[in-house]
Amino acid sequence: MLEINPRFWGSLELAIRSGVNFPVLYFDLCCNKSVGVVNDYEMGRKVRWVFPGEILRYLSTSKVDREPLFKFIVSLLKDSEEWDSRDVSGSIASMLAPFFMLFKRKYWKFLKR
């Protein structure tokens, strides 16, 4: 038995924000459109998985080792994977879904390191 998983990878948002939109390239290929080689993309781009990833990382890091709260919040607003001003309702949904996971006890184990 072979599983076929058509989903893209988790770091897809990083590639898109860097200038390589793989879903559009894939769509174009499926429609027999000409797709050129992509050599122009932004290097050094950061994308952060805020909910719950970065928040859990911040809370689980000792106070001595973590960055100041203001710097943390500014970087989240700048580099958040979940926020896209072109899709506000989708952005809100992607932030609310992990919030509701906090009410499921099976996820509480991830709050402790």
Convert the pLDDT of each residue in 60-100 to its tens digit.
Answer: 899 899 999 999 988 887 888 888 888 889 888 888 887 77
Q: Which token pair is 85?
A: 């001003």
Kindly tell me if the per-residue pLDDT of 106 is higher than 80.
Answer: no
* Cis upstream peptide for 52 (omega within 30°): yes
**pTM of the predicted model, to two decimals?**
0.68
Look at the chain and report how many structural domains it folds into: 2
Q: Rounded distance, CA 1 to CA 66, Å?
A: 46
Q: Rounded distance, CA 45 to CA 14, Å?
A: 7
Where in the sequence is the domain holding 38, given as residue range(s)? 9-47
80 φ, ψ (degrees, to nearest 5): -65, 130
Task: Examine the domain organization and report whether 26 and 52 are in the same domain.
Answer: no
Predicted confidence band of residue 112 (pLDDT cuts 50, 70, 90)? low
Is 61 inside any structural domain? yes
Q: Rounded distance, CA 11 to CA 45, Å?
A: 12
Q: What is the pLDDT of residue 7?
A: 82
Predicted confidence band of residue 59 (pLDDT cuts 50, 70, 90)? confident
Task: Examine the domain organization and report whether 54 and 86 are in the same domain.
Answer: yes
* Contact in structure between 96 and 52 (CB atoms under 8 Å): no
Q: What is the pLDDT of residue 111?
A: 63
